Amino acid sequence: MDLQRTKAIAKKEFKHLLRDYRMLAILILFPVFLLIIFGYAINFDVKNIKIAVYDRDHSSLSRKFINSLSGTENFDLEGYIFNDSDIKHVLDEKKAQCVIVIPDDFSENVYNNVPAKIQFLIDGVDGNTATIVQNYVNLAALNFNREITAEIFSAYGIKSSIPLELEPIFWFNPELSSTKFLLPGLIGMILVIVCVVSVSISLVREKERGTIEQINVSPIKSTELLLGKITPYVALALLNATMIIIAGYILFGIEVKGSFLLLFFSSLIFLFSAASIGIFISVISESMQVAFSLATALSLLPSVILSGFIFPIESMPWIIQVFTNITPVKFFIVILRAIILRGVGLEAFWEQVIYMLLFAIIILTLANLINIKKEKSA
C-alpha cells in the first residue's frame, strides 16, 4: 500500500466530481428530493377518517357515542344518513371511509343489560387503512363501554372496577409517527444509491474511455486504485447523510439520541460495504449505461423492498427473508434506528457491524474471482 498513490487517485477523482456539474447536482439534490417525498408524501399515519352516521335510535346515548368518536382527531364526522340506500352511496362516492349504523333498540338494550350491537361498515379497498380504522373503532368502543358500565353501575349504587386495564405506551416513537420510523431507512437507501451508482460509474468510465490502460501500466496496485476511487464518493455520501439528519431535525423534529461518533463510524463501514457492490458491478459491466442500470436496480430495489425500510422483514416468508441479505441496508437500518431513535450503544448492534463487514468481504471476493477469470480469458 502506498498512500501517495491512493491520494493521487482520490485527488483526480475529486476533480472529476467537482467538474461534472450535472452529476454533482443530481447526487446532491436527489437525496433532498427523496427526503421530501418520503417525509411528506408517504405517510402511513391515518388521521381524520371520514365517517357518516345512520342513527336510528336518536337517543342521548347514541349521540354520546357519536360524540365520543368525532371528538378525537382520528375521526371527522362528515354527516348523517337517514335511510339504508344512502349507506351504499356514501361509501361508493367515497364521501366517507366508514359508516356507523346505530340500531333503533340501541339505548333500550344498553339500559336493559342486553348487549347492544353497532354496525361499522369500513371501506376495505385500502386494506392497510381499513385495519387501522378498525383498531381505532375498537378502541373507541372499548372506552365507551367502560364509561357506560361505570355510569350504569353507579346508577345502581355500586362502585365498579374493571379487572384488567391495558395501558400501551410506545417507546422511542410515542406518537407512532411514520416519518420517525422511515428516516433511518431513508438514510440507508440514499447512501446506498449514491455510493453504488457513483462508484460503479466512475470505475466503468475508466474502462469505457480506455484510461484504465494507463493506470494498469503504472505501478499502482488495485487496492490503492479502488481505495482512492471510492474516497470522494464516500465523502459525498457522508455529506448527504449529514444533510438528511439536519433536514430531518428541521423539517420533522427528529433528533439523534445516540452518539454521533458511533453514527459516523458505522456509516463508514456501511459505505464500504455499499462501495463493494459498486466495485462488483464495475467488474461485470463494460459500459456506463449497463453499470448505471445495474447499479440503480441493485441498490434501489432491495433497499426499498427487502431492507425492512418499509416492510417488516419478520413478516416475510422465510425464503424471502434469506434474500433480504443481498442488501447491506438491512443491517444498517437496525443500527440507524438503534442510534437515532433509541440512543443505544454498540452493544445493541455489534452483530450488524460484523454482518456489514462480512457482506463487503464476500462481495469483494466474488468480484475478485470474476476479475481473475476475465483476465485469464482476455
Partner 1 sequence: MEAIIKIKSLKKSYDDIKAVKDISLEVYEGEMFGLVGPDGAGKTTTIRILCGLLKPESGSVKIFEKDIIKNKKEIQNQIGYLSQKFSLYGDLSIDENIEFFADIHGVKDYQQRRDELLEFTRLKPFRNRIAEKLSGGMKQKLALACSLIHKPKIIFLDEPTTGVDPVSRRDFWKILSGLIKEKITIVLTTPYLDEAERCNRVALMNKGEIISLDTPNKIKQALEKEIIEIVCTKIREAYKLIRDEIGFEVQMFGDRINVIINNIEKDYPKIEKALKEHSVEILNYRKITPSLENIFIHLVRKAG
* 8-state DSSP, 314: G
Cβ proximity to partner 1, 36 vs 370, nearer residue: 370
Q: What cell numbers appear for 262 in the block?
A: 458511533
Closer residue to partner 1 in complex, CB, 182/283? 283
Candidates 1-9, 32-40, 245-253, 297-305 — which segment interacts with partner 1 by CB under 8 A? 1-9
Binding mask 195-234 for partner 1 (x = CB under 8 A): --------------xxxxxxxxxxxxx-------------
Distances in whole angstroms, Cα of residue 240 to Cα of each of 28, 162, 245, 249: 7, 52, 9, 14
Which segment (8-16, 53-61, 179-187, 302-310) binds partner 1 by CB under 8 A? 8-16
Q: Which is nearer to partner 1, 3 or 158 (CB)?
A: 3
What are the distances in angstroms from CA 183 to CA 10, 187, 236, 302, 309?
30, 6, 19, 17, 9
x/- mask, partner 1, residues 276-295, rule CB under 8 A, reads: --------------------
Please say which residue, 131 or 214, places its beta carbon nearer to partner 1: 214
If one asks whether residue 255 binds partner 1 (CB under 8 A), the answer comes out as no
Tell me: does residue 12 bind partner 1 (CB under 8 A): yes
Per-residue burial over 43-74, b if 16 or more Cβ lie within 10 Å, else e, is eeebeebbbbbbbbbebebbeebbeebeeeeb
Please tell me the distance from the alpha carbon of residue 325 to that of residue 45, in angstroms, as a whole number.
Answer: 29
The helix or strand, by DSSP H or E, that contains position 78, with its residue range, turns out to be: strand 75-80
Number of residues that bind partner 1 (CB under 8 A): 28
22 binds partner 1 (CB under 8 A): no
* Contact call for residue 378 and partner 1 (CB under 8 A): yes
Q: Taking CB under 8 A as the rule, does residue 5 contact partner 1?
A: yes
Rg of the chain (C-alpha set): 29
Please report how close the Cβ of residue 225 comes to partner 1 at its closest, in angstroms. Answer: 9
What do you get for the CA distance between the two ends of the chain, in Å? 27
Q: What is the dihedral of CA 128, 134, 136, 140, to 10 degrees?
A: 180
Binding partner 1 by CB under 8 A: which of 14, 20, 70, 311?
A: 20
CA neighbours closer than 13 Å in the CB half-sphere of residue 11: 6
CB atoms within 10 A of CB 258: 19
Q: Is 2 in the site for partner 1 (CB under 8 A)?
A: yes
Encoded one letter per residue, x for contact with partner 1 by CB under 8 A and - for no contact, window 150-189 reads ----------------------------------------
C-alpha 356 chain-centroid distance? 19
Residue number with CB closer to partner 1 (16 or 58): 16
CB nearer to partner 1: give 16 or 117.
16
Q: Should residue 117 be labelled a site residue for partner 1 when binding is judged by CB under 8 A?
A: no
What residues line the site for partner 1 (CB under 8 A)? Answer: 2, 4-5, 7-9, 11-12, 15-16, 19-20, 209-221, 375-376, 378
